[in-house]
Amino acid sequence: MNQLRPLESGYQSRTMTNIVRLACWNGAWVGTCALIAFGPKFLWNRTLLFTLLAVGLNVCVGVGMLLSNKKYVEGLDELQRRVYLNGLAITVGVSLIAGVPISVMAGYGVIPCKADIACLMMLMALTFLVSMLYGTWRYR
């Protein structure tokens, strides 16, 4: 059998490192989101300085998460990148198609619920998850 010599930094290990790094940044970002949501009321009694510091921290960690995601995508191979790109395209499309009518209908009171940004984020997350699963299944 001809022996194959894998590259120094294998695709699997490199991708796993990027995933762990991205997960850490995501966790930190969610933590700072919780901080700015609940901190003013439960931790520092609405002191403006602390609130501004918490928002600044949230933005900084958000930028870190963004850069980490960029690094993760750049580390993917061409097929995985295509699956990711398709997932993003579907997510943006669904968010626009569903987001605008829901916002309009909520504004006119056609639907009883409030058009909340959290609902849109949930829709985007679920759409992206389903798109990625479909893409992975399609090229399995």
Partner 1 sequence: MKNRLKVLRAERDWTQAQLADALDVSRQTINAIETGKFDPSLQLAFRASRLFGMRIEEIFHDEDGRSLATEIK
Nearer to partner 1, 69 or 80 (CB): 80
**Under a CB-based contact definition with an 8 Å cutoff, are residues 75 and 18 in contact?**
yes
Coil, helix or strand for 8? Answer: coil
Stretch that binds partner 1, among 4-12, 44-52, 85-93, 115-123 (CB under 8 A): 4-12
DSSP summary character for residue 92: H
Among 17, 26, 51, 80, binds partner 1 (CB under 8 A): 80
**Angle between helical axes of 48-75 and 11-42 (0-180°, round to 10):** 170
Q: Single out the residue of 64, 121, 113, 68 nearest to residue 91, CA to CA.
A: 121
Q: Does 10 bind partner 1 (CB under 8 A)?
A: yes
**Restricting to residues 29-68, which ones interact with partner 1 according to CB under 8 A?**
none
Among 59, 63, 66, 79, binds partner 1 (CB under 8 A): 79
Q: How far apart are CA 98 and CA 118, in angstroms?
A: 14
Contact set with partner 1 (CB under 8 A): 1-2, 4-7, 10-12, 15, 77-80, 82, 136, 138-140
